[in-house]
Structure 1
Amino acid sequence: MHFFAMSISRWFLLLPKNSQMLITKLVGLAVWLAVSGSRKNMMIKNIRKTLHVTECEAYKIGKASITRFGGILTDLLKYPRFSKKNIKNFVDFQGLENLEKALSYGRGVVMVTGHLGNWELLGAALAYQGFPMVAVTRRQRNRSFDSFINVFRHIPDGGTVLYKDNLRAVIRALRKNKIPLIFIDVDGHDTGIFVEFFNQWASTPPGAAVLARMCGCPIVPAFISQVPNGKHHIIIEAPVWIDKSIDKKMAIYDTIQRLSSILEKHICCSPSEWFWLQDRWRTKPANKNQ
């Protein structure tokens, strides 16, 4: 798979910029056409309910949210060309001092983000900047595609990929003062905790807060979005510390609610860059007052 992935990357990088842009658009359109009508309807319904927009506006936001996958995939192919010297030609950074401060405690850092912008590039760009990033991800149903993406995730120096079910490895990474990157905007199903997300109860994985409390490390929210000139912009928020002076359950709830509110703020700034195709509010609380 490594040879196959790198061969595609080399071929893509040899193309003129206009051809690269055309392929990006075609891949995005192909992804849009591959999505079933029922999934699109679910997505548009959630956008209307969440953002209080018209059906036409929701359709535009939803389509932009899906077709941008062309850019996410073709950006992966550019990873071999990135380096610490040139990464700032592609990505702007805001708040690097927040991450440096969080690392200075020597306890590791739990970085949290959402499926906003080119989330794959978020961790990679920081790794190219020399930060010890660890991608914590779930296995793709298509194992070949999973292997394909992992080839590029390992390209940055020290790039590490861990699966969500390997908790011990994530804890070891924190103890080595590394930075696991965890997503907090997926349906937590029955094991999640319910917090308010766009004024709706959303089952949310508590793992980021649990890890931070267990290891005594800070949590740093970070997000990426694309700006009009084509570059990507990364914002790194100030460290969040979990309150260990209060009940464990309440501390985890308060932290996840705070992080979800921060994520919500960033989605509102770039709604078409969030992954609306997931049914974020699928799991309902048994008690509406929960």
Structure 2
Amino acid sequence: MSALSQRFSEFGYVAGWRASRMLPESAASTLFSLGADFAARRDGAGVQQLRRNLARVVPQADDAELDELTRRALRSYARYWQETFRLPSMDHKEVSRKVAASITGVENLDAALAEGNGAVMALPHSGNWDAAGVWLADYLGGFTTVVERLKPESLYKRFVEYRESLGFEIVPLTGSSTAMRVLLKRLRENKAICLVGDRDLTNSGIPVKFFGEQTRMPGGPARLAATTGAALIPAGCWFTEDGWQIRLHPRIRVNAREEVPAATQALADIFAGDIAAHPTDWHMLQKFWIADLEQDQQDALGEATKS
């Protein structure tokens, strides 16, 4: 991304933050929904990829149904950003209370922390994970997560400040071992970490089958659990009409490094179940399956798998 594009991107985020806080909630919802509908009509590359992704999740859908699913998914994505921009100015105790009223599976987290080895919570790009994080920070007194370093640096700092204001401990993903050391330390302190775990089309990703096709997912959550004895807990997030639904699934047992691929496949299977039930809340506008990559990218990943 060029420096000019980065600046335009930052301007867009800053404008969104300001506009969503200044407008009444109903007006902001209307504005973001209109933006989503405009994006659907424009049918850019990201929208086309979203439609292809949804076609895997809902293979029985015909063209008209896929068009409607895509429109609704874009509205869900717009809702995520609207809520993201408004969250810093919202009553966080009220957000936590609202999540707590509908969340299921908290006993799985409680049992994990009672064992004393920490918890690794893995979730897909679905619903509003920041709202879930507000609840988790309130429930546990804080938790740790990893974020990619965005460009420009000023935009990255805005997002770090935003999530820290919600009670998250942020560890930057830099490519070094620093982030891993922090996460290991937190787990050994019997704390919780939360990681997005549904897309890693790199040589380090773990091959899995997802909705019947090959892709790759991050091995980090399962590796951390195997290394520390922490509980690996899949989490699902989706929207309700006026709030959020969170499901904390029973832990996936992973006791050794050689069990990481099977544990990652188990994560994929659980993610798939939640996404199939709430497809329009899965915000995946990027290429996700190996078959959608260019041939040279497919070949590179194939060679990595053999080595």
TM-score (norm 2): 0.79
Q: Percent identity?
A: 21
The one of 172, 197, 215 aligned to 2:210: 197
Provide the rounded CA distance (Å) in 2 between the counterparts of 1:264 and 1:276.
Answer: 13
Deviation at 1:277, TM superposition (A): 0.8
What's the counterpart of residue 8 of structure 2? none
Deviation at 1:130, TM superposition (A): 3.1
Q: Which runs of 5+ in 1 are unaligned?
A: none
Tell me the amino acid that sits aligned with residue 122 of structure 2. Answer: V
Does residue 1:79 correspond to 2:103, yes or no?
A: no
What's the counterpart of residue 187 of structure 2? 174
Mean Cα displacement is larger for which, 20-29 or 209-218? Answer: 20-29
Whether the 8 Å contact between 2:117 and 2:229 is mirrored in structure 1 is yes
The alignment's C-alpha RMSD in Å is 2.9
Does residue 1:225 correspond to 2:238, yes or no?
A: yes
Whether the 8 Å contact between 1:66 and 1:277 is mirrored in structure 2 is no
What's the counterpart of residue 283 of structure 2? 275
What's the counterpart of residue 74 of structure 2? 66
Paired positions, count: 278
Provide the rounded CA distance (Å) in 1 between the counterparts of 2:218 and 2:42.
Answer: 26
Does residue 1:236 correspond to 2:243, yes or no?
A: no
Deviation at 1:27, TM superposition (A): 4.9
Deviation at 1:7, TM superposition (A): 11
Task: Decide whether aligned partners of structure 1 residues 64 and 19 sit closer, same or farther in structure 2, where only a CA change above 3 A counts.
Answer: same
Deviation at 1:34, TM superposition (A): 10
Deviation at 1:23, TM superposition (A): 3.5
Mean Cα displacement is larger for which, 183-192 or 217-226? Answer: 183-192
Task: Return the structure number with greater helix share.
Answer: 2
Task: Decide whether aligned partners of structure 1 residues 117 and 11 sit closer, same or farther in structure 2, where only a CA change above 3 A counts.
Answer: closer
Q: Which runs of 5+ in 2 are unaligned?
A: 1-12
Deviation at 1:108, TM superposition (A): 1.5
Provide the rounded CA distance (Å) in 2 between the counterparts of 1:96 and 1:86.
Answer: 17
Deviation at 1:112, TM superposition (A): 0.3
Task: Decide whether aligned partners of structure 1 residues 10 and 87 sit closer, same or farther in structure 2, where only a CA change above 3 A counts.
Answer: farther
Does residue 1:46 correspond to 2:53, yes or no?
A: yes
For the residue of structure 2 that corresponds to 1:121, the secondary structure is: helix
The one of 76, 89, 94 aligned to 2:104: 94
Whether the 8 Å contact between 2:32 and 2:75 is mirrored in structure 1 is no
TM-score (norm 1): 0.84
Deviation at 1:192, TM superposition (A): 1.2
Whether the 8 Å contact between 1:82 and 1:128 is mirrored in structure 2 is no
What's the counterpart of residue 265 of structure 2? 257
